[in-house]
Amino acid sequence: ELMLFGLVRKKNARLVKSITNDIYIPEDVDIVIEGEVDPEVLQIEGPFGDHTGYYTPKEPYPVLRVKAITTNKRPIYQATVVGKPPLEDKYMGWATERIFLPLLQTTAPDLMDYHMPENGVFHNLILAKIKPRFKGHAKQIMHAFWGVGQMSFVKHAIFVDESAPALTDYEAITAYILNRIDTKDILITNGIVDALDHSSNETLVGGKLGIDATGEAKQKNITLLSDEILLKKCQSLEPSIVALKQYMTDTAHPVTIIQYTKFKPAQDLFEKLAALKEHLKIVAFVDTEQNDVNNPYMLIWRVVNNIDAQRDVWLTPFLGIDATNKSEVDEHTREWPADVVCDPNVIQDLKERGIIDISDTLLDNYQVVPEG
């Protein structure tokens, strides 16, 4: 933190000793909370809304015994509102991209650029552009990412080469990736994950997914059906399916979102739908709770939050992704957190008092309030 402090301000932090201990702090800090932590004394923290868009799972954390609180003469308490994207903290994420790119390039000099889409909530999805110089070069940089500081928390990383469009041109870069996906170039591994991640079977450790999309464009090899016809075919195999939507159908690997009423694992559906492999290339399963198959922005957020790649990704006969909420049906024993949502009564009260001017369409688009 002190290194970043100095980098942003372009000068070293001037430090002074704390009042009650020997820790040194910046002299112009606004607020200082001093105390002691006994690592053996733990209390349950949470749940509270966090930047992932979910309520943080309840976990035991050490307790700080406060000894002193001091401030400067005019302290500013800085904070951001967090929850489902898009929110204020995305600008901090995009700032860190630019700040840390040169530092990452010291470890991976062929890294040209990287980007964290706002609906990937920082560590859940990173797009990277590289100059591949040999076979497996993208996989080498994947491991470099997963071994450097807070980049080690990244769950899903997709790599393209220098001929790819801008990483922030989402429609173009998505098409570029979908034209180059090959299951042999998908790396699924295991490593540390953020403490806020809820999808893994255990805290702090979970699956990671890397996709090398630096190769040549693939030939389109799929028999496309309309959404209506494909939905009927899927429902004939599995009646619990309630909705279906296909995206990027002009690419070699269209993405099909399938929504179903969940009373069985998504893998059961995946195995049944193998009979339709000529019509499917990439399928993501979501459940009926707080999902809309016609909302790709929030679907991306849901998918990258809800999957553990080692458990929820299948590579044959087509690429399957289980983005449903997990429970005892999936033999998932950790508590599954709820979405961060706003009370509709509070929203209405703020509107009536003229504090906010927000449309119902926007509330629906970003799933700010609960369904119904």
CA-angle at 116, arms to 60 and 105, nearest 5°? 100
With the C-alpha atoms ordered 356, 357, 362, 363, is the resulting torsion angle positive or negative? positive
R_g of the chain, CA atoms, integer Å? 23
Where is 192: in which H helix or E strand? strand 186-192
Q: Please tell me the distance from the alpha carbon of residue 175 to that of residue 178, in angstroms, as a whole number.
A: 5
Q: Are 62 and 51 in contact (CB under 8 A)?
A: no
User: Residue 167 phi/psi, 5° resolution?
Assistant: -65, -20
Q: Please tell me the distance from the alpha carbon of residue 318 to that of residue 258, in angstroms, as a whole number.
A: 14
Question: For residue 356, which of 347, 366, 364 has the smallest C-alpha distance?
Answer: 347
User: Residue 259 phi/psi, 5° resolution?
Assistant: -105, 135
**Locus of tokens 């299948």:** 314
Where is 297: in which H helix or E strand? helix 296-306
Q: Please tell me the distance from the alpha carbon of residue 239 to that of residue 123, in angstroms, as a whole number.
A: 36
Single-letter amino acid, residue 204: L
The active-site residue out of 30, 50, 169, 308 is 50
User: Residue 76 phi/psi, 5° resolution?
Assistant: -115, 120
Which 3 state secondary structure label does DSSP give 11?
Answer: coil
Both tokens of 279, joined, read 């019509």
Q: Are 204 and 196 in contact (CB under 8 A)?
A: no
Q: Please tell me the distance from the alpha carbon of residue 341 to that of residue 55, in angstroms, as a whole number.
A: 9
Q: Please say if 50 is a catalytic residue.
A: yes
User: What is the phi-psi region of residue 248: left when phi exceeds 0, alpha when psi lies from -120 to 50, beta otherwise?
Assistant: left
Interstrand relation of 282-287 and 255-260 (parallel, antiparallel or unpaired): parallel
Q: Which residues are catalytic?
A: 50
